Amino acid sequence: MKKLTFKYIFPLIVFIISLVLIVFSLILKLEEKREKEENYQKLLKEELVQKEAKRKAEEKIQQKIYLMGKFNPSEREDFILIPSKYATVENKMYLRKETLDAFLKMQIAADKDKVDLKIASATRNFDYQKSIWNNKWTGMTLVDGKNLAKSIPDDLNRFKKILEYSAVPGTSRHHWGTDIDINDANGEYFKTKQGEKVYEWLVTNAPLFGFCQPYNLKGAERETGYNEEKWHWSYLPLSKTFTEEYKNLIIDSDIKDFEGDKYVPNLNLINDYVLGINPACL
């Protein structure tokens, strides 16, 4: 009996133990594989999150470049050359396609009412605005007949004087391809009979084509920003978004690389000027 037990039971035990060991090692291997797969998936997910963050950061940089006008509109597909018959000047001017489409519709309607509308200024990029600004700063361009470099030797006061009618490079709505000056960027023209008629027509009709006057008369409605500009109109369906993006993306330290830029922190440029517009255009 004992011999028999030894003969059968012992191999059986050995067999069972081996089986247990095999199953155990198999489970271990499976567990290892699962862990590896899990780690791989985790890595893949992390990579995707990183890629998405990088894409968003790049998009943000590109949008900041756009909002500050640091591009050449003639090289962008979303901009279009304004046909010369709709312009008061000979130099090539560009607008976002949507803005020009809306202007052309408005121009036809105005024409029917015997009001002549032409574009006196359109997209002005950072470099263009910088040359306007720097020339006023150095006295190369006279302001109210004066060489500001001599008449206002104090830099901060000179900065504020130029700011009355010229945007600081990087803060102009003209960077966006959404804003136009109509007929004449000059207060005197809008005091003439013809100018008054044009302005009256625009106040009544421009909103029907998506245009809004950002620099309306300063007062309770608009306490800060540029003086009244009856000639300057914004195409709201685009400019509203850009105003909002400007508020969210641009900070004072982005506004630089022109004469007097060290005074930017002394002035509340973004709040008072970029956002200091007619509430109807916000």
Q: Is residue 232 close enough to count as binding Zn ion by CB under 5 A? A: yes
- Residue number of the CB atom closest to Zn ion: 232
Of 152 and 180, nearer to Zn ion (C-beta) is: 180
Q: How many residues bind Zn ion (CB under 5 A)?
A: 2
Q: What is the DSSP string of 222-279?
A: --SSSPP-TTEEEEHHHHHHHHHHHHHH--GGGS-SSTTGGGGGGTTIIIIIIS-S-G
Of 181 and 259, nearer to Zn ion (C-beta) is: 181
- Is residue 171 within 8 A of residue 273, CB to CB? The reply is yes
Of 136 and 232, nearer to Zn ion (C-beta) is: 232
Least distance from C-beta 177 to Zn ion, angstroms?
Answer: 13
Could you tell me the two tokens for 280? 């109807």
Least distance from C-beta 226 to Zn ion, angstroms?
Answer: 9
Least distance from C-beta 172 to Zn ion, angstroms?
Answer: 8
Q: Is residue 184 close enough to count as binding Zn ion by CB under 5 A? A: no
Of 86 and 151, nearer to Zn ion (C-beta) is: 86
Positions of E strands within 50-126: 79-81, 94-96, 119-121
Tell me how crowded residue 229 is: count the other CB atoms within 10 A of its CB: 17
Least distance from C-beta 178 to Zn ion, angstroms?
Answer: 11
In angstroms, the CA 272 to CA 277 distance is 8
Among 73, 96, 181, 199, binds Zn ion (CB under 5 A): 181
In angstroms, the CA 146 to CA 138 distance is 11
Chain contacts with Zn ion (rule: CB under 5 A): 181, 232
